[in-house]
Amino acid sequence: MIIFYTLLSREIKRFMKVIVQTVVSPFVTSFLYLLVFGVSLGSQVNDPHGLPYLAFLIPGLVMMSLMNNAFQNTSSSIVTSKFSGDLEDIRVAPITNHQIIWAMIIGALVRGSVVGLVTYVVGTSFYYYMQGNFLGVSHPLILFYFVIAGGFIFGLIGICIAFWAKTFDQLSAFSAFILLPLTYLGGVFISIKSLHPFWQMISEWNPLLYLINGLRYGVLGVSDVDITRSVIVSVVGFVSFYFLAFWSLKKGSFQRW
Amino acid sequence: MNFVDNKIPLKIQNLVKSYGPIEAVKGVSFEVKAGEIFGLLGPNGAGKTSIISILTTLEEPTSGQALIFGTDVTKQPMITKRNIGVVHQEVINSGFFDVEEILEFQSGYYGLSKNTERIHYLLNKLGLFEHRRKKVKQLSGGMKRRLMIGKALVHNPKFLLLDEPTAGVDITLRETLWKFVLELQKEGLSILLTTHYLEEAEQLCQRVGIINYGRLECVEPTQYVIDKFTQKKIILQLRKPRVLTSRYLQSSEHNNFTFRVPMEKGLGDLLQELEISSQEINDVKIVEGTLEEAFIAVLANK
C-alpha cells in the first residue's frame, strides 16, 4: 500500500508543481470556449433538446477538459520520466504493473476532475449571468460514474500511447490527429441530432460520443444516445484499455530515451 | 525488508541475451562473492550493460539464469529487487522534485514510509544535507553522482550494482567516490562494478571479469590478472657503458637498459642472470604492470 501511495502522491505532486500548465492553462481555454461559443454564438444555435445552448455546451466542455487532462497527465508523466530516466527507477524497484497503472490513472482522474470542476464552475457562472440561475445536476451518481470512467479510460490511453511512442512528435501526433478530432466530433459543441443522418451514423461509431453524452445525461438528464449504451461502451473501453496498458508495461521499454 | 536466503550475492549461469540476430551476451557465467567488490570490465558494446539490465529486470534474458542471493531475477523479481541497489550509468534528472523528495519517493518505492532517519544519514554521509532542498539541475556533477548512490542505498540493500558510477567525473571526485565505495564494502555490502576506468577497478576490485563481444574472457583475482597478463619493466642505469645480452632486454641507449620481465621475476634474479654487481648500478627504476595493460593483453589475445 505504501508503494501505491508513493506512486500516487508522486503523480499528484508532479502536476501540482506545474499548476499553471496543468490547471490554469486549461481553465483559460475553457473560459474562452464558453465565452466565444456559449455566450457569443450560443444565441444563434438551436438545441434539439430544447435547452439553452450554453447548458448543452457546459457538460461537453467539462468532459472534454477531463479527458484531455487525464490523457495529458499519464502520457506526459511517462514521457518526461523516459526522458529524464526516472522511469528506470520504477522498473528497478519492487513495484507491480497493476500498482503503476492504478496510481497513474487515479492521478489522471484527480487532475482531470480538478480541471473539469473548474470548467463547470466557470460555465455555471456564465450560465447564471445569462439565465439567472445556476446549472444543477440531474443525476449525480451517473455524473460521478462518467467522471471516473472518462478519467480512468483516458489515463489508460495515455499510458498506452506514452509507452509505445518513440518521440515527443509521435505523442503529439496522436493528440492532434486522433484524440482532438474524435473529441470535437464527439458531440461536445453540437448535438448529433442536428446532423445529416449519414453523419449521425458515422458519429455513432465514435466511442467518445458515448462518454461525452453519458456525462451530459448526468448533468442535464438528456443525451443524444441511450445511456445504457454509454455505460456499456465505457465498461468495454475501460477493460480493453486496462489490458492494453498492462501489456504495454509488460512489453514496453522503461529505458530512457 | 530483505529476503536473503543464500550467501552468494550473485550467481550468473550461462546467461545469453540476443537482440534479434545479434547475440550481445554469449553464455556468461560468474559469481560475486559475499563482501567483495567484483569488477565487470569490457570495451563499449561488450555486453556489460545488457547483463546489468537483466539483473535489474529492465531486460529479460534469452536463456540462462541470474540468481541474487539464490533467487532467480526473472522468476521472482519482487524478491530480488528488494535486495539490490542500482546506480545507473547516467544521472537521472527528476526535474520536478528536490533531493529529499526524490529520496522519499525512492524509499516509498521499496515500501518504506518513515525513512527520514536513513535519508538524513545518507544525506550527511554523502555531503548533500545542506543541498536537500535543491532540484537535481541545481546540483554540481559530483553531487548528482552522490545523489544517485544515495538513491540506491535508501532501502539498505545487501548487494549494490554500480554501472559506471564515475563516468565523466573528475579525478578528485572519483577518489572521493572510491573511498565511499570502500566504506560501503566495510559495512558489509557486496558490489558489482562496471567501469571503463581500469585504475578504478584495480584500486577497488578484489576480482575482475573481462568481457569482450559478449563472452567472458577471464574471471580471476585482480592481482592475478595483472601478474598473468603483464610484464614488469626494469630500467637499469649503469655507471659505465657495457654490452648486455638478455632475452628480456627491450632497448638500450648508452648505459641505460630497459628489460621486460615476467611479474614473478625479481630484480635480484635479473641482476644475477646478467652478472651485474650492485656497485655497477647507478640507478634502478621498476614499473609494475597495470590492470589496463592486462586488459589490453586479454583483449588482444582473443
Least confident of A215-219, B124-128, B152-156: B124-128
How many other C-beta atoms can be found within 10 angstroms of the C-beta atom of residue B12?
A: 25
Interface test with B, best of A1, A15, A79, A89 (most B CBs within 10 A): A89
Looking at residues A7-27, what average pLDDT do you find? 87
Q: Identify which has the larger pLDDT, A190 or A72.
A: A72
Asked if B55 and B191 touch (Cβ cutoff 8 Å), the reply is: no
The predicted pLDDT at position B1 comes to 45
Give the residue-averaged pLDDT of A212-223: 93
Give strand pairing partners of B26.
B16
Q: What is the pLDDT of residue A247?
A: 94
pLDDT at B193: 93
Mean pLDDT of B3-17: 83
Predicted local distance difference test score (pLDDT) of residue A141: 96
Q: Which residue, among A10, A17, A19, A92, would best test binding to B if mutated, counting the most B CBs under 10 Å from its CB?
A: A92
pLDDT digits (tens, 9 = 90+) for B277-298: 888 888 999 988 888 888 888 8
When pLDDT is averaged across residues A184-204 and rounded to a whole number, the result is 84
Q: How far apart are CA A60 and CA A63, in angstroms?
A: 5
pLDDT on residue A172: 86
Check residues A155 and A34 and name the one with the higher pLDDT: A155
pLDDT at A103: 96
Average pLDDT over residues A193-212: 87
Closest Cβ opposite residue B82 in set A80, A94, A96 = A94
Q: How do residues A231-255 score in pLDDT, each as one tens digit?
A: 999 999 999 999 999 999 988 877 7
Strand-strand pairing, B190-195 and B159-163: parallel
Strands (E), chain B: 10-19, 22-32, 37-41, 63-68, 71-72, 84-87, 159-163, 190-195, 207-212, 215-221, 231-238, 249-253, 256-262, 281-287
Task: Output the nine-digit C-alpha cell for B84.
Answer: 539490490
In angstroms, rounded to a whole number, what is the distance separating the alpha carbons of residues A151 and A120? 16
Q: What is the pLDDT of residue B302?
A: 57
Mean pLDDT of chain B: 88
First to last CA, chain B: 44
CA distance B120 to chain A (A): 19
Question: Which pLDDT belongs to residue A59?
Answer: 93
Q: What is the pLDDT of residue B274?
A: 84
**Amino acid residing at B6:** N
What is the end-to-end Cα distance of chain A in Å, rounded?
Answer: 30
A18/B57 Cβ within 8 A: no
Contact by Cβ (8 Å): B159, B9: yes
The DSSP code for A42 is: G
With a cut of 90, say whether residue B85 has pLDDT above it: yes
**Distance separating alpha carbons of residues A54 and A59, to the nearest angstrom:** 9
pLDDT, mean of residues B245-253: 85
Residue A165: the pLDDT is 83
Tell me which DSSP letter residue A185 carries. T
* Rounded distance between C-alpha atoms, residue B165 and residue B176, angstroms: 12
At A105 the pLDDT is 96
Q: pLDDT grade, residue A214 (50/70/90)?
A: very high
pLDDT-above-90 percentage for chain B = 42
Among A3, A14, A18, the residue with its CB nearest the CB of B111 is A3
Cβ(B89)–Cβ(B200) below 8 Å:
no
pLDDT surpassing 80 at residue A98: yes
Question: Across residues A125-151, what is the average pLDDT?
Answer: 91
Q: What per-residue confidence (pLDDT) applies to B5?
A: 54
pLDDT (tens digit per residue) in B195-244: 888 888 988 999 999 999 999 988 999 988 888 888 888 998 888 888 88
Contact (CB<8Å) A93/B81: yes
pLDDT of residue B64: 94
Across the interface, whether the CB atoms of A92 and B93 are under 8 A apart is answered: no
For residues A84 and A229, the model is more confident at A229
Please list every residue in chain A whose beta carbon sits closer than 8 Å to the beta carbon of residue B57: 91-92
Name, of A141-155, B42-56, B73-87, B260-274, the range with top average pLDDT: A141-155
Q: Which residues of A touch B106 (CB under 8 A)?
A: 89, 93
What's the rounded mean pLDDT across residues B168-178? 80
| Percentage of residues of chain A with pLDDT beyond 70 | 99
The pLDDT of B95-122, averaged and rounded, is 90
The share of chain B scoring above pLDDT 70, in percent, equals 98
Complex ipTM more than 0.90, yes or no:
no
In terms of residues, how long is chain A? 257
A13, A17, A254 member nearest B58 (Cβ): A254
Q: Determine the average pLDDT of the residues in B110-114.
A: 89
pLDDT at A184: 84
> pLDDT at position B2, please?
47
Average pLDDT, chain A: 89
pLDDT at residue B55 tops 90: yes
At which residue does the C-alpha cell 542500482 appear? B86
How far is the C-alpha of B279 from the C-alpha of B274, rounded, in Å? 14
| Non-local CB neighbours of B246 within 8 Å, separated by 6+ positions | B259, B270, B273, B274
